[in-house]
Chain A
Amino acid sequence: EAAVTQSPRSKVAVTGGKVTLSCHQTNNHDYMYWYRQDTGHGLRLIHYSYVADSTEKGDIPDGYKASRPSQENFSLILELASLSQTAVYFCASSRRDRGPEVFFGKGTRLTVV
């Protein structure tokens, strides 16, 4: 079974502080994604990457940066955390093929206070 590991699993951050969420996959997948989940909005794509050292903006990239230093690792960075960024964040990975399955991490609950 494909594995996607997120860390930390939960975090409390102070408004204006920097937050880094990490994701590691052992699937040898090309694509990696960061989503946030808010009640009533389902899952929304923040950033994604299809190759190391390159990231792409998703649907809601404002306030977030992403980094893909290697095929296995994909980080989501909040330079100046805000209250509105309180949410659950999911990392995922998938193969390059058309119509691949997506494998998700267990999620990170971020609370900004």
Chain B
Amino acid sequence: GDQVEQSPSALSLHEGTGSALRCNFTTTMRAVQWFRKNSRGSLINLFYLASGTKENGRLKSAFDSKERYSTLHIRDAQLEDSGTYFCAAFDTNAYKVIFGKGTHLHVLP
């Protein structure tokens, strides 16, 4: 099975509301990174975490290696937040990045 399970696969939010994306891992990961792929196809780094939480503006991410999950919270969603969000986990034993399948976020006016 997939080592990284990302949910939900798709999400629609009205402007000004918020929600959370989640990645569950089947094994212990050493770190996680969150990206957003915008409408032009570019991948934008959002957060990199080896533990704990980080916050940047309306985004906040948490990573718990022991409990094997990471979350990305979006608050006060704006139209420009629309895009596909990926989590990527760093395996402890192999030098490989394992990606979730992405969450397609659509922010509605």
Across-interface contacts of A92 in B (CB, < 8 A): 97
Dominant SS among interface residues on chain B: strand
Name the residue of chain A whose CB is nearest to the CB of B97. Answer: A102
Asked if A45 is an interface residue, CB under 8 A from chain B, the answer is yes
> Which of B35, B41, B88, B100 interacts with A88 by CB under 8 Å?
B41
Instruction: Quote the shortest CB–CB distance from B86 to chain A (angstroms).
Output: 6
Asked if A109 is an interface residue, CB under 8 A from chain B, the answer is yes
Asked if B43 is an interface residue, CB under 8 A from chain A, the answer is yes
Across-interface contacts of B86 in A (CB, < 8 A): 42-43
In whole angstroms, how far apart are the Cα atoms of A31 and B42 in the complex?
20
Check if B33 sits within 8 Å of A102, measured CB to CB. Answer: yes
Check if B41 sits within 8 Å of A107, measured CB to CB. Answer: yes
Across-interface contacts of B40 in A (CB, < 8 A): 106
Name the residue of chain B whose CB is nearest to the CB of A99. Answer: B31
> Which of A41, A42, A50, A98 interacts with B30 by CB under 8 Å?
A98
